[in-house]
Amino acid sequence: MLVELAVGDAYGAGFEYADRPFVVRGNTLAGYVQHPRHRDVLPGRYTDDTQMSIAVAEWLLGDDHGIPALADLFVRAYKRDARAGYARGFRGVLEEVADGTELLEVLRPESDKSGAAMRAGVLGLLPDLADVRRTAALQARITHRTLGGMTSATAAALAVHYCRYDLGPVAELPTWLAATLPASTDPAVWARPWRGKVGSPGMDSTRAAITALAAHTGTAALLQACVAYTGDVDTVATIALAAASCSAEYAQDLPPALLAGLENGPYGRDHLAGLDARLTARFG
C-alpha cells in the first residue's frame, strides 16, 4: 500500500496545479516529470502525502494510539527527513516545534483542505468499520477539525477498508459511501461523479479519487486518470492508489519505470516496503 500510494504521490507531484496542456503532454506514465514551477520537488520524490502516511502507519503499528503520540510522529517524520511539498505555513510550524506537544499547542485546526484525507488511507486496514471511522476522524482533528476535513479523511480510510475487506464491487464504492458516510446534508454527494479540476478542499480530492477508483480496474489507468483531472492531483492519486493497492479486483500494473524510479533513500521505496510488510503481518 505505502509503495503504491508513494508512486501516486511522486508521479502526481510533477503535475500538481500545472497547466492542462503540460499535463496532457506529460501524463504518459513513461516516468516521473519535473514540475514546471516547483523545482524543489525532484522527479521520483514523494511529498507530505506519503511522509504523513508513514507517520500514521507507525502510529497504527505502535502501542500508543493517542493523539499526542501521532502528533509527535508527524514532527519526528519531518525532522528526520525534511522535504518539500508541505503547505508553507505548516512546514514552518514543523520546523519550529520540538515535539508533538508543541505542535498541538501551536496549531489552529480550522482547515477543510486535503491534509487529513491524504494520510488516512492506512487506517482503512483496521478490521472493524467503526474503528476506521472513529480513528480517521480522530487523526483529522489534529490539523483539520472541520466537517469537510474530517469527512474526507474518513471517506479516504473507508475506501481502503471497502477494498481490503472486499465489501462489494469497486464500481459500487460511491453508492456504498453515500449510504455509509453522509456528507453534511447531502449524502448523495459521494454517488455523483467528479468532473473537472480538483481544488484544495479535502472533499474535492477524495470525491475525485472515489470517482476514478470506481471507473477503472488497473492501477496504471487509475493513476493516469487521477492526474488527468488537473489541480491537486498528487493527493487524488495518493488516496486512490492506497485503496486500489488493496483490491483483489484491481490489476496491480503500475509501470516498472515508476516503481524503479521511486526514491530509495533511508525512507524511500525499501523502507516503505518494510512498513507494508509489517502492516500485512499485523492486519493480514
Specify the CATH class of 2-283 in words. mainly alpha
Q: Is the pLDDT of residue 105 over 70?
A: yes
Q: Is the pLDDT of residue 283 over 60?
A: yes
Indicate the SS3 state at residue 39. coil
For residue 278, the model assigns a pLDDT of 98
pLDDT, one tens digit per residue, over 169-190 is 999 999 999 999 866 657 789 9
159, 239 Cβ separation under 8 angstroms: yes
Average pLDDT, the chain: 96
> Mean pLDDT across the stretch 257-281?
98
Q: Closest Cα to residue 11, out of 58, 49, 56, 55?
A: 49
Indicate the SS3 state at residue 278. helix
- Domain ranges in the chain? 2-283
> Mean pLDDT across the stretch 263-282?
98
147, 109 Cβ separation under 8 angstroms: no
| E-only strand ranges, 171-263 | none
For residue 246, the model assigns a pLDDT of 97
For residue 184, the model assigns a pLDDT of 60
> Mean pLDDT across the stretch 240-265?
98
For residue 187, the model assigns a pLDDT of 73
Q: Give the residues across from 144 on adjacent strands.
A: 110
Q: Closest Cα to residue 234, out of 32, 95, 90?
A: 32
Q: Is the pLDDT of residue 264 over 70?
A: yes
pLDDT, one tens digit per residue, over 68-94 is 999 999 999 999 999 989 999 999 999
- For cell 486500489, name the residue: 244
Residue 190 burial by Cβ neighbours in a 10 Å radius (0-12, 13-18, 19+): buried
Q: What is the dihedral of CA 113, 114, 120, 124, to 10 degrees?
A: 100
| Whole-number Å distance between alpha carbons of 243 and 122 | 9
For residue 239, the model assigns a pLDDT of 98
Q: How confident is the model at residue 140 (pLDDT cuts 50, 70, 90)?
A: very high
pLDDT, one tens digit per residue, over 8-57 is 999 999 999 999 999 999 999 999 999 999 999 999 999 999 999 999 99
For residue 279, the model assigns a pLDDT of 98
The whole-model pTM stands at 0.97
| Whole-number Å distance between alpha carbons of 75 and 20 | 35
- 66 Rama class: left (phi>0) / alpha (psi -120 to 50) / beta: beta
Q: How confident is the model at residue 237 (pLDDT cuts 50, 70, 90)?
A: very high
